[in-house]
Structure 1
Amino acid sequence: MELVNRTEISEFFLKGFSGHPALEHLLFPLCSTMYLVTLLGNTAIVAVSILDVRLHTPMYFFLGNLSILDICYTSTFVPLMLVHLLSAQKTISFIGCAIQMCLSLATGSTECLLLAIMAYDRYLAICRPLRYPVLMSPRLCLLLVATAWVLCLVKSVTETVIAMRLPFCGHHVVSHFTCEILAVLKLACSDTSVSEAFLLVGAILLLPIPLAFICLSYTLILATVLRVPSAAGRRKAFSTCSAHLAVVMLFYGTVIFMYMKPKSKETRISDEAFTVLYAVVTPMLNPVIYSLRNKEVKEAARKVWGRSWTSK
């Protein structure tokens, strides 16, 4: 019977903002612009960090990976969301929904770990400057990033398989603009406790624990910076770290609101608005925050831009 109930669903209807036509007309140009800025800004950071040898350091290696994650994350659902904002046919196939769910979970989860890795990198660079080149070797950088990607992919595949194997008994209207796992679980007509338990464990491992690690790292960084006798040295350290802290607060604040708040059966419009905030706005702001607050990135961008025009 469970198999029959499951095969009744061949596609899902993504309700999204369909009950608010005026909001859809407003969101399309806004989200299109933000997605374009996200692609251009993050691609520029990746290109600059590769082309300028002065940026071949652990900090910019991690920043480049963060930019790649932002591009992948937003691309899992924003293009389809833009199509649905202009169309009355807001459907996605069962397989497409599962793939979208898995990829968005994997990239979002990896970003949580990567932000913690970046905090650790800043801690070593500021608090252990003499041993930093040895402690944060290229091999360790690759190992940290690869481990984060692999662990989060395995976690996301497991959560997706458990969620999509549940019987939906013909319920196919997802009260969201993407196949967000919490919204899909609300359609299940059987016990979802196993899936919810996996999500809770994952949320604890990827939200409060990395956030506590980040807070500890920056507490130690602050204590070290305040002991620096040079005012210029303190300003440089604060400038480097403030960009990362701004990204951390924006990303973790909105994600914790979504995944650690009490669950309700009905999805409110505020939930979708917060999803837009952390899933569309944050990836757009990341390159802006890092480039505006980072003198090295701006100088490297000018150098690469000037070289490209000279070659023409």
Structure 2
Amino acid sequence: MKNSSQILFFTFSAYFDIGPLKYFFFSVVMCLYVLIICANLLLILVICMNRSLREPMYLFLCSLLVNELYGSTGLFPLLLIQLLSDIHTVSVQFCYLQIFCLYTYVNVQFYNLAVMSYDRYLAICCPLQYNTRMGTQKVVVLIALSWVFPLLAIVVMIWLNASLQLCGNIIDRLYCDNFSVVKLACFDTTANNVYGLIYTFTVLFGLTVLILYTYTKILKVCFSGSKQTRQKAVTTCTPHLASLLNFSCGCFLEIVQSRLDMSSAPMTVRVFLSLYFLICQPLYNPLLYGLNLTKIYNICKSLLFRKV
């Protein structure tokens, strides 16, 4: 019987022979990756280089965009290599590294969205107290917690995974996934399952409740306030809500794809379900925030169309 110390690599079984088309798909994925890098970097530079954007809302947005660059880097390089390779394998160590990157990306994204919703709640529901309750020190602490806590939580998850004894090395995915590795375990995975459930219900469920609570309060103020208040709320909250819905929908599709038997579904559908939240969110957010937040839109427009 093999254990995790004897398994040196994992094999991705979701890739199939597409012949010369692999160069076409490689080009498409490479273009998407370059587009994600350029779009997110543009907004990050715009926020960092303009003093008028040194407000908490834009600093939290900058953290969100940095996380999307981080998550994309955890996916695309290996995906591009696998598209051109004839042997779709990855070392155990690199597989765990990819799981760490992708899962921290997902968790940091939820934390950032929760912090952004809290910031909008203070700005709209407590405008007179906003500057005192959302000072520079608090912004730094919230951004730091949004990164540190998920990183520590995923380190514990990876440690639990690394201690598992595995009876196989076939992963039916395009990339390394925690659930796929746990399914390969020979023996009891109670510790992994309990930790996952506790973390999901205490942290991620708690963040979801916080986000829903803040936006419920914001909507209440919108309906009872002046036309100017409603307009401000709609302008600043629409991108956050749209980003949250898109990301939550993508995560739900990923859970459905990984937990249910999708063997009867076409391969293109399975690929779309597994990659949606990793590709569409980093593409969607720069476009969404760049077009909806007036300050960012005007600065990007002046940069892109400035006469030399």
Tell me which moved more, 85-94 or 259-268: 259-268
**SS across alignment from 2:109:** helix
Partner in structure 2 of residue 191 of structure 1: 188
For residue 38 of structure 1, what is the amino acid of its counterpart?
I
Identity across matched positions, percent: 26
Partner in structure 2 of residue 202 of structure 1: 199
For residue 188 of structure 1, what is the amino acid of its counterpart?
A
For residue 286 of structure 2, what is the amino acid of its counterpart?
P
Does the aligned pair in 2 maintain the 1:225–1:237 contact within 8 Å?
yes
Does the aligned pair in 2 maintain the 1:113–1:206 contact within 8 Å?
no
Q: 2:209 aligns with which of 191, 212, 217?
A: 212
Partner in structure 2 of residue 256 of structure 1: 252
Q: 1:113 aligns with which of 104, 111, 114?
A: 111
Take 2:67 and 2:121, find their aligned partners in 1: how far apart are those partners? Answer: 22
Are 1:234 and 2:230 counterparts? yes
Take 1:88 and 1:26, find their aligned partners in 2: how far apart are those partners? Answer: 15
Q: Unaligned regions of 5+ residues in structure 1, if any?
A: none
1:28-107 equivalences under 5 Å are 28-107=26-105
Check 1:194–1:80 CA distance in 2 against 1; reply closer, same or farther (3 A cut): same
Are 1:245 and 2:270 counterparts? no
Check 1:47–1:271 CA distance in 2 against 1; reply closer, same or farther (3 A cut): same
Take 2:154 and 2:297, find their aligned partners in 1: how far apart are those partners? Answer: 36
Take 1:236 and 1:78, find their aligned partners in 2: how far apart are those partners? Answer: 37
Does the aligned pair in 1 maintain the 2:257–2:273 contact within 8 Å?
no
Take 1:114 and 1:242, find their aligned partners in 2: how far apart are those partners? Answer: 16
Task: Tell me how far 1:183 sits from its aligned partner.
Answer: 1.2
Check 1:194–1:272 CA distance in 2 against 1; reply closer, same or farther (3 A cut): farther
Take 1:279 and 1:222, find their aligned partners in 2: how far apart are those partners? Answer: 30
Task: Tell me how far 1:200 sits from its aligned partner.
Answer: 2.0
For residue 83 of structure 1, what is the amino acid of its counterpart?
I
Tell me which moved more, 182-191 or 27-36: 27-36
Tell me which moved more, 17-26 or 30-39: 17-26
Does the aligned pair in 1 maintain the 2:121–2:215 contact within 8 Å?
yes
Q: In the TM superposition, what whole-angstrom CA distance separates every residue of 1:138-162 from its partner, at most 9, and x where no partner exists? A: 1111111111211111110110111
Task: Tell me how far 1:209 sits from its aligned partner.
Answer: 2.4
Take 1:262 and 1:91, find their aligned partners in 2: how far apart are those partners? Answer: 20
For residue 291 of structure 2, what is the amino acid of its counterpart?
L
For residue 216 of structure 1, what is the amino acid of its counterpart?
Y
> TM-score, length-normalised on structure 2?
0.90
Take 2:5 and 2:262, find their aligned partners in 1: how far apart are those partners? Answer: 25
Does the aligned pair in 2 maintain the 1:49–1:60 contact within 8 Å?
yes
Does the aligned pair in 1 maintain the 2:70–2:105 contact within 8 Å?
yes
For residue 215 of structure 1, what is the amino acid of its counterpart?
L
Take 2:186 and 2:207, find their aligned partners in 1: how far apart are those partners? Answer: 34
**SS across alignment from 1:178:** coil
Partner in structure 1 of residue 170 of structure 2: 173
Check 1:33–1:243 CA distance in 2 against 1; reply closer, same or farther (3 A cut): same
**SS across alignment from 1:131:** helix
For residue 143 of structure 2, what is the amino acid of its counterpart?
V
Q: 2:161 aligns with which of 141, 144, 163?
A: 163
Q: Unaligned regions of 5+ residues in structure 2, if any?
A: none
Tell me which moved more, 82-91 or 24-33: 24-33
Task: Tell me how far 1:131 sits from its aligned partner.
Answer: 0.7
Take 1:262 and 1:76, find their aligned partners in 2: how far apart are those partners? Answer: 19
Check 1:69–1:296 CA distance in 2 against 1; reply closer, same or farther (3 A cut): same
Check 1:271–1:115 CA distance in 2 against 1; reply closer, same or farther (3 A cut): farther
Task: Tell me how far 1:235 sits from its aligned partner.
Answer: 2.3
> TM-score, length-normalised on structure 1?
0.89
Take 2:19 and 2:248, find their aligned partners in 1: how far apart are those partners? Answer: 30
